[in-house]
Chains A and B, each alone.
Chain A
Amino acid sequence: MNVFTEITLNHYLALSGLLFMIGLAGVMIRRSILVIYMCLELMLNAANLALVAFNRFHVKPGGIHDYDGQIMVFMIITVAAAEVAVGLALIVSLYRLRQTTNVNDLNALKF
């Protein structure tokens, strides 16, 4: 019962990994490019979760808690927001060009 009553870093890491895998599965399965993008965001957030978890359990020698991980996550959130904006602009352009959002039809990137 230990693993269910005592929460350690491992739990959070497992949670992060699981979330990442779910996002990955979404990327591989879904056909609408917008939904794929959303699952990509899910993967990003999984990484954020891992970072915050590490930050919580990391103690500098001397007993001081630092916030570097949280700063990092803060930046990631910001940059991710910008990235979403740009990505969606691209998707809009793509839609204007191809009139489709089905990933199976967007297959010009081939040899």
Chain B
Amino acid sequence: MEALFFWIVATGLIAAALAVIFNRNPVASALFLATTFVFLACVFITLEAFFLAVVQIIVYAGAVMVLFLFIIMLLDIKAEAKRPIPFGKILLVLALSLVFAFFFGKVLTDLPTGQTLLQWNVHGAPKQDAKEIGMVLFTNYTLVFGTTAVLLLVATIGVILLSKREVK
């Protein structure tokens, strides 16, 4: 069961990600990115991080992507022109990818973490994810929480300042 879900979700994730980068229309890219975030949320669910999955959808797919789309519409970005495939670039990218793939393979095969298997606790009590996170967040990580709040405030102010037009 774990394996089945994992493979479905993983395939979807990769497919959506590829679609993001290979689409010429920016709106299409944005939508596929949203799709990617949803699939990522599913991956979080397979990892039993339910709270995070929901937060992911709400924040990323719900807010960030909407923001992206607003900006695309605002700036009226056209689809990229079709251009001849830059052979050199592709080659470079492939080379780099192969290099990293090699590293990953090496690292992954040597790690001892390959022993623990993913196992869902289907028959027990449901995992009370949000409660557990809340317990930790508001006790151990209060400072972090507060700082993040201030950061959000600063970001808001910054955005307003940055996008102001000069008043003539």
- Are chains A and B touching in the complex at the 8 Å CB cutoff? yes
State the A residues within 8 Å of B (CB). Answer: 4-15, 17-19, 21-26, 28-32, 34-35, 37-39, 41-42, 45, 48-49, 52-53, 55-57, 66-68, 70-71, 73-75, 77-86, 88-93, 95-96, 101
Contacts of B104 in A (CB 8 A): 13-14, 17
Contacts of B8 in A (CB 8 A): none
Besides A32-B80, A34-B26, 9 new A-B residue pairs in contact (Cβ under 8 A), listed by A number: A8-B116, A9-B111, A19-B17, A38-B20, A68-B136, A70-B133, A81-B64, A88-B71, A89-B158
Which residues of chain B from 1 to 49 have a CB within 8 Å of any chain A CB? 2-3, 6-7, 10, 13-14, 17-18, 20-21, 26, 29-30, 33, 36-37, 40, 43-44, 47-49
Interface of A, helix, strand, loop or mixed by DSSP = helix
Number of chain B interface residues as a range: 35 or more
Q: Which of A10, A45, A77 contacts B113 (CB 8 A)?
A: A10
Contacts of B162 in A (CB 8 A): 86, 89-90, 92-93
Task: Decide: A92 near B163, CB < 8 A? Known: A7-B117, A70-B49.
Answer: yes
- CB closest residue in chain B, given A53: B47
CA distance A32 to B108 in the complex (A): 34
B67, A84: Cβ atoms closer than 8 Å:
yes
